[in-house]
Amino acid sequence: MPETYEQKRLKFWHVLLGIFILLIFTWITFYMRSRAEFAAAMDKVRAAGHPITFAELNEWYSIPPGEQNAADTILEALSYYNEWDREKTKPLPVIGEKELLPDELYDPNTLNLARQYLADNKEMLDLLHEAAKIKHARYPADFEMGQAVLLQHLRPLRDAVRLISIEAQVQIENNQPQKALQTLETMKAISHSLANEPILISQLVLIACDNLTINTAERLISRCDLSQAQLNRLANLIASMQANSPMKTGFIGERCFMVSYIADSSTAAMNGGGSGMRFAYAGLRISGLAYNDGVTNIEIQTQAIDLFKLPLADRLTAADAIDKKIKALGYLNFFTKITMPAIVRVIQRDVKYAANLDVAQTAIAVEKYKRTTGNLPKNLIDLTPEYIKEIPTDPFDGKPLRYKKTEKGFIVYSIGQDKTDDGGLKGKKSTGDITFQINP
């Protein structure tokens, strides 16, 4: 007996209901599995001793209980900054437009202007030198605010380090190497008050300030006759900069920001995203796709953090591999593709910074050799093991750092990010060599 119309319609709705139930079951299974895997990935990060949420990040960024906080003194110092207008600072190096070679003298007018600038900021400088004696620092940045976290200390701190550099340069002009060394140590201490601030922008400021400290040290060796004890002190200063990888701390914080976009629909996590973006991410979370992508995000971010365990030369290759992995992700990893930090560029900046430190340390070893023997070494290998344990490898090509004598002194250099040996010609940004040149 053939089916009636009512029976066919009933059968159709039964099939449709079955498909619907199957889809609901599939969605629930996918959602629960994705969320469980995401939670497991977060727990794995916690097991490694790292934060994974804004609240954990805020707690992780701390100083030992009962310890004095250098940030308090630094912030007080910054409040006394007497900032000159742009026209007035134009004739000055570092904060203005004047460019000086490491061995170039200040002209009298520039020197007098620099002294006036320092005098106008004496109270600030005195407090900064006091802050440099304090070991720990934690700025009042509330990372529980997520994207809305305030980092208002970064620009003034950068200006403070520039001011201290001017102080060191005036001391160099006055032939006061011991005072200049102490001032360089203050530069490093103020810069590294950011060392534990877990966000990339803070670590980029730290690196920029350290590079200025290295440039000022280059001027100190070129212009002053340093003793072996003073050269050793300078070498120790550079070594203290080499002790940590700033970008690693930055990546640890950035991972929390990325994960919070997925796990947290609060205003803190989505600040600035707009209502449309909030609804979009809410939809991705409800579907389970956000949590599935979150597992991939945590995996890639963790791989980026693990890069800092590798030798410098290997970091660039590994960063390229991660970058290719991100580009190969499909549409289901939409969030990771659009939010992942530019890992290759960050690692390039980190490796360039490390190379700059290695070049400076090697140049100091050359100067120590010269002060001991009366002559420059024929090759860098002559420095080992008495003046430097081993010759650092240039991370951009895997060969030893370059060294050559000049008419007045010598240059130690890395070929830099463009991987072209320019014979020690210093460049800007991604071109030219990374140099430390001494012309006594």
Confidence of residue 278 (pLDDT cuts 50, 70, 90): low
Give the ranges where 132-176 is alpha helix by DSSP (H). 154-173
Q: Are residues 108 and 214 in the same domain?
A: yes
Give, in order, the Cα–Cα distances in Å from 101 to each of 105, 303, 406, 426: 8, 41, 15, 11
| 176: CB partners within 8 A, 6+ apart | none
Alpha-carbon dihedral of residues 423, 424, 425, 429, nearest 10 degrees?
120
| pLDDT tens profile 358-387 | 999 999 999 999 999 999 999 999 999 999
DSSP 417: T
Would you say residue 333 lies in a domain? no
Contact (CB, 8 A) for 187 and 139 = no
| pLDDT tens profile 3-26 | 666 666 666 676 777 777 777 777
Please report the pLDDT score of residue 31 as a whole number.
Answer: 77
- Residue 438 phi/psi, 5-degree rounding, is -115, 120
- Residue 159 phi/psi, 5-degree rounding, is -65, -35
Query: What is the pLDDT averaged over residues 101-106?
Result: 87
Q: What is the largest CA-CA distance in the chain?
A: 114
Confidence of residue 196 (pLDDT cuts 50, 70, 90): very high
Confidence of residue 389 (pLDDT cuts 50, 70, 90): very high
Which of 29-38, 336-345, 367-376, 428-437 holds the top average pLDDT?
A: 367-376
Whole domain around residue 380: which residue ranges? 342-440
Q: Are residues 219 and 348 in the same domain?
A: no
Q: Are residues 236 and 362 in the same domain?
A: no
Please report the pLDDT score of residue 112 as a whole number.
Answer: 96
Distance CA 351, CA 313 (A): 8
Distance CA 123, CA 219 (A): 26
Residue 284 has pLDDT above 70, yes or no: no
Task: Show the tokens assigned to 394.
Answer: 């240039």
Residue 116 has pLDDT above 80, yes or no: yes
Q: Decide which of 221 and 334 is more confident.
A: 221
Would you say residue 4 lies in a domain? no
- The pLDDT mean for the chain works out to 89
Q: Decide which of 305 and 277 is more confident.
A: 305
Q: Are residues 218 and 351 in the same domain?
A: no
**From edge to edge, which strands make up the β-sheet containing 434-438?**
402-405, 410-414, 434-438
CB atoms within 10 A of CB 130: 15
Strand partners of residue 215: none
Listed residue (147, 193, 138) closest to 54, CA to CA: 147
Q: Are residues 88 and 195 in the same domain?
A: yes
Please report the pLDDT score of residue 270 as a whole number.
Answer: 47
Listed range (23-27, 250-254, 262-266, 414-418) with the worst mean pLDDT: 262-266
- The continuous run of DSSP H or E covering 434 comes out as strand 434-438
Q: Are residues 94 and 234 in the same domain?
A: yes
Q: Decide which of 346 and 113 is more confident.
A: 113
Listed range (17-21, 167-171, 192-196, 372-376) with the worst mean pLDDT: 17-21
Sort 287 into a burial class: Cβ within 10 Å, 0-12 / 13-18 / 19+.
middle
Q: What is the DSSP secondary-structure string of 87-138? A: HHHTTSBTTSSB---TTPPPPHHHHHHHHHHHHHTHHHHHHHHHHTT--B--
Number of compact structural domains in the chain? 2
Distance CA 129, CA 181 (A): 12
| 103: CB partners within 8 A, 6+ apart | 219, 222, 223, 408, 439, 440
Would you say residue 33 lies in a domain? no
Confidence of residue 269 (pLDDT cuts 50, 70, 90): very low
Please report the pLDDT score of residue 263 as a whole number.
Answer: 67
Residue 255 has pLDDT above 50, yes or no: yes
Query: What is the pLDDT averaged over residues 397-422?
Result: 93
Distance CA 393, CA 390 (A): 9
Distance CA 22, CA 16 (A): 10
Whichever domain contains 394, its CATH number is 3.30.700
Q: Decide which of 438 and 278 is more confident.
A: 438
Task: Show the tokens assigned to 252.
Answer: 């640890």
| 204: CB partners within 8 A, 6+ apart | 250, 349
Q: Are residues 70 and 212 in the same domain?
A: yes
Distance CA 421, CA 397 (A): 10
Listed residue (240, 252, 189, 346) closest to 61, CA to CA: 252
Listed range (4-18, 130-144, 349-363) with the worst mean pLDDT: 4-18
Structural domain ending residue among the three candidates 230, 245, 260: 245
Residue 56 has pLDDT above 70, yes or no: yes
Residue 274 has pLDDT above 60, yes or no: no
pTM of the model: 0.90
Would you say residue 325 lies in a domain? no
Residue 266 has pLDDT above 60, yes or no: no
Q: Are residues 117 and 226 in the same domain?
A: yes
Would you say residue 11 lies in a domain? no
Would you say residue 82 lies in a domain? yes
Listed range (31-35, 66-70, 420-424, 426-430) with the worst mean pLDDT: 426-430
Confidence of residue 231 (pLDDT cuts 50, 70, 90): very high
Contact (CB, 8 A) for 387 and 376 = no
Structural domain ending residue among the three candidates 245, 276, 294: 245
Report percent pLDDT > 90 for the chain.
62
Structural domain ending residue among the three candidates 197, 223, 245: 245
- The answer, yes or no, to whether the previous bond of 177 is cis (omega within 30 of 0) is no
Would you say residue 149 lies in a domain? yes
Would you say residue 104 lies in a domain? yes
Confidence of residue 30 (pLDDT cuts 50, 70, 90): confident
